[in-house]
């Protein structure tokens, strides 16, 4: 019997946070896209709108919404602040609250902010090698508190979906600022 080995569909560069493959997708979020995310909207709207805050690459080997598949991605959050508040992701709940996720840090320093339905909010420290299990009930956002890019890998179910609405409306229960070089979490 003959046997053929197919090439892998995606090749990762773990430390650099880069994925290569025909079906790998990507998106960038710039300051101009992040209206209402930071506390100081005046500072955000007067900053250069083309500045990239974070970028995501991901692979969807199943249809979004299909049960049983897994998606894989990587996010790079650049270092920086808006009105003293560290650069961060939008953050979201999963539309399906029974769908969990893993985040694993490749490079950089930051905080994974988690929030439950009652708006109780807490953080976990992210540093190279840290692995974070995100319960499907918890909203999640990542904040780069360091001076270098924060790069983390993620794996989540194809039918998790995204619920950005409640975060866009009410935010998380805390924000993270650079106060004279130290990290301040304000609730
Ligand atoms: C991640 C996030 C990614 C960007 O893949 O989507 O880090 O963050 P926002 O989607 O909050 O802008 C994930 O959590 N997927 O479920
Ligand atoms: Zn998620």
Per the CB < 8 A criterion, the answer to whether 163 and 95 are in contact is yes
Range of the domain at 104: 13-186
The count of domains in the chain is: 1
Question: Within a domain: residue 46?
Answer: yes
Instruction: Give the per-residue pLDDT at 1.
Output: 67
Instruction: Strands of the chain (E only): list them.
Output: 11-13, 18-20, 25-30, 52-59, 70-77, 81-82, 85-86, 101-107, 110-115, 121-126, 131-134, 139-144, 150-157, 175-179, 182-186
Instruction: Give the per-residue pLDDT at 187.
Output: 93
Q: What is the atom index within ligand 1 of the atom nearest the CA of 73?
A: 5
**CA end-to-end span of the chain:** 64
What are the tens digits of pLDDT across the range 148-185?
A: 999 999 999 999 999 999 999 999 999 999 999 999 99
Does the CB atom of residue 160 touch ligand 1 within 6 A? yes
For the entire predicted model, the pTM comes to 0.96
Question: Within a domain: residue 2?
Answer: no
d(CA 127, CA 118): 28
Q: What integer is the mean pLDDT of 109-128? A: 98
Question: Within a domain: residue 8?
Answer: no
What are the tens digits of pLDDT across the range 10-25?
A: 999 999 999 999 999 9
CA distances to 36, 72, 89, 116 from 45, rounded to whole Å, are 10, 32, 17, 30
How many Å lie between the centroid of ligand 1 and the Cα of residue 3? Answer: 38
Question: Within a domain: residue 182?
Answer: yes
Instruction: Give the per-residue pLDDT at 3.
Output: 86
Instruction: Give the per-residue pLDDT at 15.
Output: 95
d(CA 127, CA 147): 13
Q: What is the atom index within ligand 1 of the atom nearest the CA of 91?
A: 11
Q: What integer is the mean pLDDT of 24-36? A: 97
**Phi/psi of residue 144, nearest 5 degrees:** -90, 105
Question: Within a domain: residue 76?
Answer: yes
Question: Within a domain: residue 129?
Answer: yes
Question: Within a domain: residue 95?
Answer: yes
Closest CA to 126 of 75, 56, 54, 73: 75
CA distances to 66, 73, 100, 101 from 59, rounded to whole Å, are 14, 6, 17, 15
Does the CB atom of residue 90 touch ligand 1 within 6 A? yes
Question: Within a domain: residue 3?
Answer: no
How many Å lie between the centroid of ligand 1 and the Cα of residue 120? Answer: 20
Pocket mutation for ligand 1, best pick of 90, 105, 143, 165 (most atoms within 8 Å of C-beta): 90
Nearest-CA residue for atom 4 of ligand 1: 89
How many Å lie between the centroid of ligand 1 and the Cα of residue 91? Answer: 7
How many Å lie between the centroid of ligand 2 and the Cα of residue 140? Answer: 7
Here the CATH number for the domain that contains residue 137 is: 2.60.120.10
Query: For the chain, what is the total number of helices (H) and then of strands (E)?
Result: 2, 15
What are the tens digits of pLDDT across the range 67-113?
A: 999 999 999 999 999 999 999 999 999 999 999 999 999 999 999 99
Other beta carbons less than 10 A from residue 37's beta carbon: 22
Instruction: Give the per-residue pLDDT at 2.
Output: 79
Q: Is 74 helix (H, G, I), strand (E, B) or coil?
A: strand
Pocket mutation for ligand 1, best pick of 70, 75, 99 (most atoms within 8 Å of C-beta): 75
Closest CA to 173 of 115, 134, 112, 126: 115
């Amino acid at each position: 019997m003959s046997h053929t080995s197919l090439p892998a569909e995606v090749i990762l560069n773990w430390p650099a946070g880069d994925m290569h493959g025909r079906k790998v997708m990507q998106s960038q979020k710039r300051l101009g896209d992040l209206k209402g995310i930071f506390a100081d909207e005046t500072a955000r709207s007067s900053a250069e709108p083309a500045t990239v805050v974070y970028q995501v690459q991901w692979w969807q080997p199943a249809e979004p919404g299909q049960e049983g598949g897994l998606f894989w991605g990587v996010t790079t959050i650049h270092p920086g602040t808006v009105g003293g508040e560290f650069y961060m992701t939008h953050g979201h709940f999963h539309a399906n609250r029974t769908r969990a996720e893993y985040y694993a840090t490749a490079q950089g320093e930051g905080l994974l902010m988690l929030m439950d339905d009652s708006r109780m909010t807490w953080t976990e420290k992210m540093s190279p090698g840290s692995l974070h299990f995100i319960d499907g009930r918890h909203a999640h956002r990542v904040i780069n508190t360091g001076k270098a890019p924060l790069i983390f890998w993620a794996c989540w179910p194809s039918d998790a979906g995204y619920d950005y609405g409640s975060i866009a409306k009410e935010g998380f229960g805390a924000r993270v600022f650079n106060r004279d070089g130290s990290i301040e979490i304000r609730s």
